[in-house]
Structures are given as C-alpha cells and as structure tokens.
Structure 1
Amino acid sequence: MLGLALGLFALVQGARGQDASTIAQGQYLARAGDCIACHSNPGDQPFAGGRAMATPFGTLYSPDISPDPQTGIGAWTPDEFYKMMHTGRTRSGALLYPAMPFAAYTRVTRADADAIFAYLKSVPPVRQKNREQDLRFPYNNRNLLLGWRTLYFKEGEFQPDPSKSSEFNRGAYLVEGLGHCSMCHTAINALGGSSKSETFQGGLIPAQEWYAPSLTSNREAGLGDWSIKDISDLLQAGVSARGAVYGPMAEVVYNSLQYLSDSDIRAMAVYLKALPSTGETAAPNEVQTQDKLRLSPLGKKIYAAQCAVCHGANGEGKGWDFPPLAANQSIQMASSVNPIRMVLNGGYPPGTMRNPRPYGMPPFAQQLSDEEVAAVVTYIRTAWDNHGTAITAEDVNALRSAPLN
C-alpha cells in the first residue's frame, strides 16, 4: 500500500511539474506573440482587453482573453483556442477581423497553441465587458471578411524548409508566425490586405503615421550587410551599433523581443539576414536637388547647434547611447516620416534588460518651425555621403498632428 501511495504521489507531482513547465513555455510563447500589447490597456490588468486600435475603417477594441468564464476565455477548450488561432474564427464560428494576426498565427503548431492557452488560463481572471467594434459601413459587415480571406488568408501550420538549417527554420517560424513581423513591414492596401509579392518590403502603418521600413532593401532596413550581432542587439536590446528602435517597434521590443532567448533572437536574425534583397531607392529628381541646395546651409547650422553634441559633428554617433546618422539607412529611406517624427516629437528607445536606462531624443516641435525641421532633416539625409532626398516644410506640417504612440 505504501508503495502504491508513493507511486500515486509521484504521478501527481509529475503532472504538476508538467503543468508548470507548460505554463512557463506558454508565457514565453505569448511574449513572442506580443499578445499583451493589444489585449491590455497600459496601466490596467493584463489581458483584460478593451484597448482601442484605430484603423482606416474605424476603431477596433481588443477582447478580454483572461480566464474569466463570462467575458474572457475561461469557458473555452484547447480545441476552441487552437481553432481560433489556426482559422481566424471565434468559438461560435464568427469571423475575426484581421487586426488579430491570425494570418500569421495559423502557422503556430498545436503544441505551442496549447501551451499559450494553458498560460492564459493561469493568469488572474478579469471580468470586463467586451466593447462592440466601431467600424464604418460597410466594414461593420463581417460577411465581407469572406472575400478578404479568399484574397489574403491561407490556413496552415508552418512547414520547415528541409534545405535550410534548423536555426533558419526556427527564425522563420518566429518571424512569420508568432512574431507576425510582416503585418507592419508590408504595405497595407485599400482593402486592409497585403500583397504576398511585397512581403517585408515596408509600408506606412495605418492610423499610426510611422513607417515600418523594408527588411529586404539595403537602402532601408535591409539587413544583408548587417552582422548577426547588430541585428540581434537591435531586436533584443532595442539599440545596436547601427541604430535604435523607436515608435511601434520600441513597444514590440519592450513587450516581446527582450524576453526571448539568445538562441531564438539569433535564429530570427539569421532568417531576417537571409531575406532576398529587393527594391532600391530612386535617385533624387531636379526639384529635390534644388531643395537640398536651398535647405542644407540652414540645416547644417541647426545641426551644429542642436544635434552635433550627441550625434557627432560628422554624424558618427556615440555608441549605443546616441545612434550614428551617417550611413544610417533609416535616415536615408525614400519615406522621410520617421526622421521627421523623431525631430518633431523626440522619443526613447525601449528600456530593456540589456539597456535599462536608454538615452532619449528631445522634441523640437515647439522650438523649430516647419521650414527649420525640413532643413535639418534634409541636411542629415544628404550629408556625409548619405543618399536621402530633400523634404519640404509641407512634409513636416503634415506630421505635426500625428498620434504620439
């Protein structure tokens, strides 16, 4: 009898240990998927939902995914949760709006989906009534999503490429699946979809007015000439010898990427570096050349007075704290949105475990006119052999009222 009791005790302890291990794995995977970013309002309880997300079609509100049985997923089964992740349908069969990145999450394996579900079931439940989506007609008709899904959604778990290394495939799984990186780094069209042929080629993030650069063009954020270390540093620390992340990407690093293991970050870097190179920036036209000649002297003066103390007289930067501006692709991209926004609004890289006290960029919106901002941004885009183009005061003015997040 004693032996039987000890055996049963060992089985119970083993089951508990397995549950704890599954929950811990689920927490890690939920961070890799950045679930908390959309399903939590800053300062509120995690996963309670209710976060407003502006889109070109109206405002969406994220649902409660805490384990509350009435407003959350407390009454869901693992099968229902996997179905939602894999097919983009709720447990009742309703079609999800693609703000939920199910087109990427469909690649997640059943084992990983089960682990995420186990973790979400372990967090404190929050009873919070889910808000109705506030979309304009006709976008409030969910039946229209059937056409969207036909054009832009292909259901199916990730299949590794047998010709590639296990590290490459792990990186592909994280980038294409849980990381849903293409959702921002691919242009969104008028239907709210993305062309497969333009994947990772960059685009303006709708309603946020930040530009997610191309990951395939070395004239933007293409990583072909980056070292694996520099890519890994940027993903995990938010800063590297090649630059720093701001805006929406800073939130991704803060909520998600800083918590990933060194091996997973390296795998993502290996995959991203291997993306095929596409697209180059066009040469400046005559008008842009004349604007450069007109604005650069004023821009050089402003740079010397306001910027050189941190970024160096020749844009060389000072380590991680103050990124280089010379030979910095993010400064030279065809889109000037990000450098304009940084000069206007300033900002900080994310505070991460590897960079807990980041240095920030002060805002100059109240100090510099549209013409002065255009001048200094034109200067840094064209000085020191940078190959960007000139911008105008109108470009600056259009972004003065852009949302800060």
Structure 2
Amino acid sequence: MKWLRRLVILIVLLVAVLGGRLFLGGHSDESAPGATSQVSAATLKDPALIARGKYLTTVGDCVSCHTEQGGADFAGGRILPTPFGNIPTPNITPDKATGLGDWRFEDFWRALHDGIGRHGEFLYPAFSYTSFTKVDRDDALAIFAYLQSLAPVHKPAKPLGLSFPYNVREGLAAWRALYFREGVYQPDPTKSAAWNRGAYLVQGLGHCNECHAARSAFGGTHALPLSGGRIPVQDWYAPDLSSRAHGGLQGWTEQDIVDLLKNGQAAKGAAFGPMAEVVASSTQYMHDDDLRAITIYLQSLPPRAAPAPAGPVPAATAMVNQGAKIYAASCADCHGKDGEGVAGVYPPLAGNSSVLDPSGLNAIRAVLLGGFPPTTAGNPRPYSMPPFAQKLSDADVAAVVSYIRHAWSNDAPAVHQRDVFKYRHTPIE
C-alpha cells in the first residue's frame, strides 16, 4: 500500500538524518584530499578540448534535462518529476550568479563523480551521478571546458518541489549507502577495445541503466542492469536491452540497434516516448564507431530468464474478437495484416519489444497518444502514428492491445480496461 511505503521511507530517512549530519559535520566544502590540482584558464580555452567536450556533452544528453521548454540551452529550469516530488534542473551555463561561472573543475568533478555539490551537500540522484561516477577525469575536464565556453545565461534556480523528509539532504546518506558506489570505469582486459568503449559509454556517460532498470520503493535501481523497467511517474517502460534469448532486443542485429540509435527507426521497431528525445538530441549525433561499440557491448549482455507463459487467450472471447476487428479497421493498413509493418516507414508489431513489454503500458500509451519517431538526419520526415484516445473507448483500447500482444508470434499477457483508464489520465511528461 502506498501509505505504508511512504511511512517506511519516512522512518528510514529520519533515522538517516543523524548519520548524515555526522558525515557532513566533518565534510568541508573544499575539494577532496588528493584532488586539489588546479586547471589553468588556458587549458579550459583549448579549442580541441572544448570540441571534445561538446561531443561528450551530446553523448550524455545533458541538454535534455538542463533545458526547459522554450528556454535557453543548458540554462536549467526543467522540472524532473519523481515519486517523491519535483526536482528542477540547475543552470549549467557559466553565469557567475546562477550557473557554474564560479565553479572550479574540482567542484564539477566532485559533483559528477561523488554526487556532492560545491558546498559539500548531497546531490539528489535525479542527477545521474550513480552512472556519471564512471566517467574519467579527462572526459569530465573536456565537458567542463565546453560548458565554460557557453554564453552565460542568468537564470535563477526554481524552488525544490520536495516536502519533508525528502527535502532534508542529509537523509540521502542512507540512500547512498544502499545504491551508490563511486568509481571510474575500469576496462576489462579480457575484452576488446570496442567492447570496453561501449561498456564505458553505456554504463557511464550514456547512463542507460537509469531508465532501463527497475527501481525499488526507495528510488534506487535494484534489478539486473539493463534488464528493463518502468520509468517512474512518466509511465513508459524502458525495455530490456539484451539481444540474446528472452531479452528485450532478442533477434535484433547490430545494424538494427545502430539504425535505431542513429535514425530513430529500424527494421525491428522505432523510438517513441522518452527514447525519441534521446535519439533526437543525443544518439543521432554520435560517431559511428561509438554506436558500433555500444552495440557490441549490448549484444554481449547475458540471456534472460524465460518469462512465465502468458496463458491462452481464447480466440472466441468477445474482447479478442473485438480487438481483431479494431486492428483490421484501424491498424492493419499501416502495420500489416500479420503485424509485419512496412520497412523504414511503419514499425512491425510482431516481435516488437515495445508491444511485448511486461506491463503493456507502451502499447497502451502509443494507441492512446500516437506519436512521432524523432526527426533525424537519416529519417528527416518520419511518419506519425495518430492518437486514438478520442476514437476508442478504454474497453476498445484494452481489446486491440490485448489482441496485438497475443497475435502472430507474440505471447504477452492481456491488458485490462482499468490499465487503459489509468494511463489515459496520466499526464504526459
């Protein structure tokens, strides 16, 4: 029950406050011992370093979180919703009063690597330092140099949207003990350079696990890395990224994965929801060798346990019959009679990981909301899917989604009308 979960969290965090105060009591706002080297102004103005930092900042998709709709790039103000309240992103332009203008590189490194702010405060893990800790100092310096090269934008921080006890930063001591392990990525000498590059990007700057893993009631990732999970509050499901047996990308080739990341569209599916934004602002600009490296790493992920059989959905049931009729009337012209889609235009539904996610919510929201794959250089005029929220009732959406999830080679559980009602009324983030 939600109230019980909240009570447990409250008790744990209150107990942690004392420990956090003791921890911070001996913590100055200076840089960590042994990390006091100064970076010269000339170094930060090196054009080659700035250019590399721009690329790495794009790989990390920093602009998406640190830019509010209609606002200046990197000036912050976007509201990140969490189950515990809203967290506004900070201004990371070099404005002295409201951004990073007075920050030293060591301040930036400490935030990225340790999750600790300029004045010694714990940072909320909405900033993905749980992944960014793996970024090495050279890359961090390049990113910092690029951010310092931007035009300063004066934009004061928005107020934190967290209530007690979540607004007590010292309480994060308990969370960090459970879910945070700092440490720069260490290459695996038994693997190739490309595999290690892919692992470094996926685990670190790409911070893929922040979405593609399940989270506990306390907000920490606790499942097998990259094994898929619901994105809190936004209510989209980020699929399992293994391409081996029972993985979310089972059957995807290296080229399929590269195509999705570069173009937003592949033979096996298309990017919708939060992933469309990632492709639009980040992965489409990545170098081909980095995309290949990511693919090599993802294709090495282990097989997954076989899911429990969905169980029969009798073809004679009224719901499935209704779903088949709706599919024939509204979906088959684009997605094909047998869910095969049209290559490069409309994604297939047979074997599509978004259709088969454990919750069914991606398929529900796609039917309700429609959407566009991202506009990319490789796919500048993507075909849209129209929304059906005004045309189909909750029962109709449940019927057609249940039909799609069990038709052809698909074998996923049916969805319920109550689920459709819930996601119909979930705000779009």
Is the 2:239–2:353 contact (alpha carbons within 8 Å) kept by the matching residues of 1? no
Q: 1:291 to 1:182 in 2, by over 3 A?
A: farther
Instruction: State the Cα distance separating 1:392 from its structure 2 match.
Output: 1.9
Residue equivalent to 2:166: 139
Q: 1:96 to 1:220 in 2, by over 3 A?
A: farther
Residue equivalent to 1:222: 248
For residues 245 and 163 of structure 2, the distance between their equivalents in structure 1, rounded to whole angstroms, comes to: 38
1:71 is the counterpart of 2:98: yes
Quick one: which amino acid aligns to residue 369 of structure 2? N
For residues 411 and 245 of structure 2, the distance between their equivalents in structure 1, rounded to whole angstroms, comes to: 9
Is the 1:220–1:329 contact (alpha carbons within 8 Å) kept by the matching residues of 2? no
Is the 1:209–1:337 contact (alpha carbons within 8 Å) kept by the matching residues of 2? yes
For residues 244 and 190 of structure 1, the distance between their equivalents in structure 2, rounded to whole angstroms, comes to: 30
* Correspondent of 2:120 among 90, 93, 98: 93
* Correspondent of 2:199 among 172, 181, 192: 172
* Correspondent of 2:347 among 292, 306, 323: 323
What does 1:3-402 align with in structure 2 at a 5 Å threshold? 19-195=46-222, 197-216=223-242, 222-285=248-311, 289=313, 293-402=317-426
Instruction: State the Cα distance separating 1:282 from its structure 2 match.
Output: 1.3
Aligned residues: 388
Under a length normalisation based on structure 2, what TM-score does the superposition of the two structures give? 0.87
Deviation per residue, 1:220-278 (Å, 9 max, x gap): 75335321100111111111000001001111111110110000011001101111112
- Structure 2, unmatched stretches of 5+, are 1-41
- SS of the counterpart of 1:45? coil
More off after superposition, 293-302 vs 109-118 = 293-302
Quick one: which amino acid aligns to residue 217 of structure 2? A
Instruction: State the Cα distance separating 1:333 from its structure 2 match.
Output: 2.6
Residue equivalent to 2:30: none
For residues 384 and 178 of structure 2, the distance between their equivalents in structure 1, rounded to whole angstroms, comes to: 42
For residues 134 and 16 of structure 1, the distance between their equivalents in structure 2, rounded to whole angstroms, comes to: 38
Deviation per residue, 1:4-33 (Å, 9 max, x gap): xxxxxxxxxxx7998111111000000111
Residue equivalent to 1:5: none
Is the 1:220–1:332 contact (alpha carbons within 8 Å) kept by the matching residues of 2? no
Q: 1:200 to 1:45 in 2, by over 3 A?
A: same
Q: 1:67 to 1:221 in 2, by over 3 A?
A: farther
For residues 347 and 200 of structure 2, the distance between their equivalents in structure 1, rounded to whole angstroms, comes to: 30
Quick one: which amino acid aligns to residue 134 of structure 1? G
Quick one: which amino acid aligns to residue 350 of structure 1? P
Is the 1:217–1:279 contact (alpha carbons within 8 Å) kept by the matching residues of 2? no
Q: 1:33 to 1:302 in 2, by over 3 A?
A: same
Q: 1:224 to 1:343 in 2, by over 3 A?
A: closer
Q: 1:350 to 1:201 in 2, by over 3 A?
A: same
Residue equivalent to 1:4: none
Identity, % of aligned pairs? Answer: 50
Q: 1:113 to 1:16 in 2, by over 3 A?
A: closer
Instruction: State the Cα distance separating 1:86 from its structure 2 match.
Output: 0.8
- Structure 1, unmatched stretches of 5+, are 1-14
Deviation per residue, 1:142-176 (Å, 9 max, x gap): 01111111111111111000000000000000000
For residues 414 and 49 of structure 2, the distance between their equivalents in structure 1, rounded to whole angstroms, comes to: 53
For residues 309 and 119 of structure 1, the distance between their equivalents in structure 2, rounded to whole angstroms, comes to: 48
